[in-house]
Amino acid sequence: MFLKDNESWNATYDVVVIGFGGAGATAARFAADKGAKVLLVDSAPEGHEGGNTRYCGQIVEAGYDYEKLKKYYQKMTAPLDLDEQVLETFVKGMVNLPDYFEKYLGGKAFSVKNNPGNKNVAMLAYMSAEYPEFEGADTNDDLLVHDQIFDAALWKKLRQNVLDRSDKIDVLYSTPAKHLIQDTDKTIIGVQIKNKGKLFNVHAKNGVVLALGGFENNEQMVQDYLGETNLLPYGTLYNNGDG
Architecture label for domain 11-53+155-226: 3-Layer(bba) Sandwich (3.50)
* Beta-carbon count within 10 A of 211 CB: 21
Q: How much is the average pLDDT of 128-143?
A: 91
Q: How much is the average pLDDT of 222-228?
A: 94
Is the predicted pLDDT of residue 120 greater than 80, yes or no?
yes
Q: Decide which of 92 and 234 is more confident.
A: 92
Q: How much is the average pLDDT of 88-112?
A: 96
Q: How much is the average pLDDT of 143-152?
A: 95
Cβ atoms of 176 and 20 within 8 Å: the answer is no
Write the DSSP string, the chain: ----TT---SEEESEEEE--SHHHHHHHHHHHHTT--EEEE-SSPTTS-SGGGTTS---EEEES-HHHHHHHHHHHHTTS---HHHHHHHHHHHHTHHHHHHHHSSSPPEESTT-TT-GGGGGGGGTS-SSTTSTTGGGEEEEESSS--SS-HHHHHHHHHHHTTTTTEEEESS--EEEEEE-TT--EEEEEEEETTEEEEEEESS-EEE-----TT-HHHIIIII--S-----S-S------
Which of 11-15, 128-132, 182-186 has the highest average model confidence (pLDDT)? Answer: 11-15
Residues above pLDDT 70, as percent of the chain:
98
Is the predicted pLDDT of residue 82 greater than 70, yes or no?
yes
**C-alpha to C-alpha distances, 126 to 55, 119, 192, 199, nearest whole angstrom:** 21, 13, 46, 50
pLDDT tens digits, 198-210? 999 999 999 999 9
Strand order in the sheet with 15-18: 169-172, 38-41, 15-18, 208-210
pLDDT value at residue 6:
65
Residues above pLDDT 90, as percent of the chain:
85
Is the predicted pLDDT of residue 96 greater than 70, yes or no?
yes
pLDDT value at residue 233:
86
Is the predicted pLDDT of residue 91 greater than 90, yes or no?
yes
- Mean pLDDT, the chain, rounded, equals 94
pLDDT value at residue 196:
96
pTM of the model: 0.91
Using the CB atoms, write b or e for 127-142: b if 16+ within 10 Å: ebbeeeebebbbbbbb
Q: How much is the average pLDDT of 61-88?
A: 94
At 178, the pLDDT band (50, 70, 90 cuts) reads very high
What is d(CA 20, CA 16) in angstroms, rounded to the nearest whole number?
A: 11
What are φ and ψ of residue 114, in 5° steps?
-90, 5
Is the predicted pLDDT of residue 119 greater than 90, yes or no?
no
What are φ and ψ of residue 55, in 5° steps?
-105, -10
Q: Would you list the domain boundaries of the chain?
A: 11-53+155-226, 60-149
